[in-house]
Amino acid sequence: MTIPAPLVIPEQEAKTVELDAAHLVRHLAHEIRQPLSTLDSLAYYLAIILPPNDARAQDQVEKIRRLVAQAGSIMDDAVHYVQASPAHPVNVSLNQLVTRTLAENSRERWNVHLDLSAEPCIAHLDLVQAQHMTQHLLDLYRQMVRRDAPFSIATERRMERVQLRLSGVSETVTVERLHARFQPFDNAAPSGEGLSLASVRRIVDEHGGELEIYSGPDDRIVVSVSFPAAC
């Protein structure tokens, strides 16, 4: 029996396909964000005019707003995964990236232990992509770790690299399962998050970084991203 030769896509053709995908995602994101914004405004208006004591109606309005936010997040993940928006790298402090992201999520009661480096931890990153990466890593640990249990966020400079490291104990996620979550189109990912962590990996790769997932002391799950130091 003759075994067919493996399909080989020429490099130039592969680049064309990737550019077409980026253009398609960019176009879809542009077209979809306008109706999503309109729906969010309508939901806000409904929340004002509906009786505040009508719990069922208010719950339905809040559900609409959550679905709109989820749809917007899905589009953002797709844009970052295919790198549909050109990167504009600048010098970014990992310490400021962490503290700013936590401040923007101040309404969430997270039990977070910070261990930020006293040394400058500066990397050459696209700021929007870096914020997207940090937000998804924080969201990951918020999901994995019990609400009453702490998790840690640390920054560190090691020789010519700077590192952002998160660690915590999870009763529901294993290191092996987490490796799969960082792959695209993971079927076991929560609804709406099929590309969230895959977009994080893509951002890390595109900036010459490294992503590691491993077991730490006391059964802690560690996710580490590191980049070449900018200075």
Instruction: Note whether residue 110 is domain-resident.
Output: yes
CA atoms within 13 A on the CB side of 72: 15
Q: Please state the domain count of the chain.
A: 2
Distance of CA 53 to the CA centre of its chain: 36
Query: Which residue carries 């990153």 as its tokens?
Result: 125
Instruction: Note whether residue 21 is domain-resident.
Output: yes
Report residue 120 as tokens. Answer: 């400058």
Instruction: Note whether residue 213 is domain-resident.
Output: yes
Residues 62 and 107 in one domain: no
Q: What is the pLDDT along the chain (231 residues), one digit of tens a residue?
A: 555 555 555 555 545 656 677 778 777 878 888 888 999 899 999 999 999 899 999 999 999 998 988 888 888 888 888 876 778 999 999 999 999 999 988 766 778 899 999 999 999 999 999 999 999 999 899 888 877 788 999 999 988 999 999 999 988 888 998 998 898 877 766 666 778 899 999 999 999 999 999 998 888 999 999 999 997
Domain encompassing residue 41 = 11-81
Query: Which residue carries 């010098």 as its tokens?
Result: 91
Count Cβ atoms below 10 Å from residue 116 Cβ, excluding itself: 17
